[in-house]
Amino acid sequence: MDKQASLIDRLTHRTALIGVIGLGYVGLPLAVEFGKAGFHVLGFDTDAEKTERLQQGESYISDVPDQRVADLVKAGRFKATTNFDRLSEPDVLCICVPTPITVTRDPDLSYIANTAKEIARRLRPGQLVVLESTTYPGTTREEVLPRLAQTGLEVGKDFFCGYSPERINPGSADSTFAKVPRIVSGVTSGCLEATKALYDSIVAETVPVSSPEVAEMAKLLENIFRAVNISLVNELKVIALRMGIDIREVIEAAATKPYGFMAFYPGPGLGGHCIPIDPFYLSWRARAFNVNARFVELAGEINTEMPEFVVRRVMEALNSQGKALKGSRVLVLGASYKANVGDTRESPAVTIMELLLAAGADVRYNDPYVPKLPRMRRSALSLSSVPLSQNEVGRADCVVIVTDHSDYDYQWIVEQAKLIVDTRNATRGIQCEEGKLWLA
Ligand SMILES: NC(=O)c1ccc[n+]([C@@H]2O[C@H](COP(=O)([O-])OP(=O)(O)OC[C@H]3O[C@@H](n4cnc5c(N)ncnc54)[C@H](O)[C@@H]3O)[C@@H](O)[C@H]2O)c1
């Protein structure tokens, strides 16, 4: 049996050892999914605290229950390590490391490059390496493959290399792993077959495409589609507010059209590791081909302005009660970038708090999912969540709803607060005295 057939055989019979590199929001659920499907899984991370917690059967990702990790560890089917010498052991290596942008919005591929170098040092015949990190078209072929090929091993014959983008939707019970179709690609047809066989073992449907570049760009299209549409409704929201029209009512009316319309909702700006960042991977790459990704840039501009818009609304709201933002006590509700998760990466709530602080406001926040703000790429705000008490809500000159967690009792919040700026329309349908509730 040649190496490809033998690998596919081991994947089909669940005897292959699966390696996952980068055990974060993408890598950990993936590792657990392979474990659930009956594989033995070896997870790699540079963060020793994470690997130790996993070894103790503890999860740090809210979508992955502790018990799931504990059961796999106990059954000997999942181990986590910082020892990269063990990269030679797995039959498959899935790369799930971060792909951030620099301060000048250029792609930072250092994590992928370092991981490819680490793998190359230990690459052995028969291994399949799949990149899952979101990135610009060309990364697998130009950044990962050459490093692996430097070993002298031949791709498609001695080892296999593919790209398969992750489509996880943190905090959503609807898009459970197995139900979401997977785009799969390979550098050669043999690589594609091996990559397809890998994901066929954990998802109901795989979608093979002709090259890694197509798969890489498809992932960017998905995220750019969201970024552009969100920026569009954010711009329309600003216009509608000036016109005294409720944009949410407009969207819901438009959404009754059974074809050709998809509803997106406005908010305080973009957050998370994907939508605010990934589009810039394409615009950067496009520049190398002498084309401008104008939609991407414009969407980025509009969405980046949203936190400032929210702060201006807070000023207007306070002003209507004869107060200046400077010196006012402002309680921000929600620090994470979206409802019901604890992820604060690129969260507009953090930018809003920074802007409020810079304007001299006395700022505090509450978030049941974020007890303390972690250190972030662009921010080192040192704040901890205050209790959502009658005292905190009642004493605030303004309460700003930034993240619409379902845990919040909005009726109670409206009753206790003196003034509310709601960026999510979370208070929809709640009656209160005129001038107390402001949409942003
Ligand atoms: N979070 C999402 O919802 C999501 C969805 C789809 C795709 N993605 C993409 O998946 C990739 C990973 O994102 P994430 O959200 O899981 O990031 P994350 O920050 O949650 O996890 C990355 C993990 O990689 C580890 N790491 C960093 N450098 C490493 C190295 N050299 N070797 C091994 N481990 C290393 C970190 O310690 C961390 O545990 C990114 O490209 C992202 O754009 C993320």
Whether 21 lines ligand 1, by a CB cut-off of 6 Å, is: yes
| Rounded CA separation 59/43 (Å) | 13
DSSP string, 95-149: E-----B-TTS-B--HHHHHHHHHHHHH--TT-EEEE-S---TTHIIIIIHHHHH
Over range 373-398, report the average pLDDT: 91
Flag whether pLDDT at 172 surpasses 80.
Answer: no
Which amino acid residue places its CA nearest to atom 13 of ligand 1?
98
Radius of gyration (C-alpha) of the chain in whole angstroms: 24
- Residue 114: the pLDDT is 98
DSSP 8-state code for residue 179:
G
User: Which structure tokens are listed for 413?
Assistant: 């919040």
- Residue 54: the pLDDT is 98
Over range 196-205, report the average pLDDT: 97
Q: Give the rounded percent of residues in the chain with a pLDDT score beyond 90.
A: 91
- Residue 29: the pLDDT is 95
Domain 230-439 has CATH 3.30.300.30: no
- Bridge partners of 284, per DSSP, are none
- Fold of the domain built from segment(s) 3-212: Rossmann fold (3.40.50)
H/E stretch holding 247 reads: helix 247-254
Flag whether pLDDT at 175 surpasses 70.
Answer: no
Whether 44 lines ligand 1, by a CB cut-off of 6 Å, is: yes
Half-sphere exposure of 264 (CA within 13 A, CB side): 17
**Where does the pLDDT of residue 161 fall: very low under 50, low under 70, confident under 90, or very high at 90 and above?**
very high
Which amino acid residue places its CA nearest to atom 25 of ligand 1?
22
Pocket test for ligand 1, best of 83, 166, 182 (most atoms within 8 A of CB): 166
- Residue 173: the pLDDT is 61
Cα–Cα distances (Å) from 326 to 88, 297, 313, 358, in that order, read: 58, 33, 14, 9
Pocket test for ligand 1, best of 96, 135, 221, 376 (most atoms within 8 A of CB): 96
**Residue found by looking up tokens 């052995």 in the block:** 124
Residues forming CATH 3.40.50.720 domain(s) in the chain: 3-212, 230-439
Cα–Cα distances (Å) from 14 to 11, 118, 194, 271, 420, in that order, read: 5, 26, 13, 37, 55
What is the reported pTM?
A: 0.92
- Bridge partners of 41, per DSSP, are 18, 78
Contact 299, 228 (CB under 8 A): yes
Over range 35-41, report the average pLDDT: 97
User: Which structure tokens are listed for 183?
Assistant: 């785009």
Instruction: Read off the pLDDT of residues 327-343 as tens digits, 9 standing for 90 and up.
Output: 999 999 999 999 998 99
274 an active-site residue?
A: yes
Flag whether pLDDT at 241 surpasses 70.
Answer: yes
- Residue 46: the pLDDT is 98
Contact 264, 226 (CB under 8 A): yes
- Residue 120: the pLDDT is 98
| Rounded CA separation 169/176 (Å) | 8
Over range 94-101, report the average pLDDT: 96
Q: Give the rounded percent of residues in the chain with a pLDDT score beyond 70.
A: 99
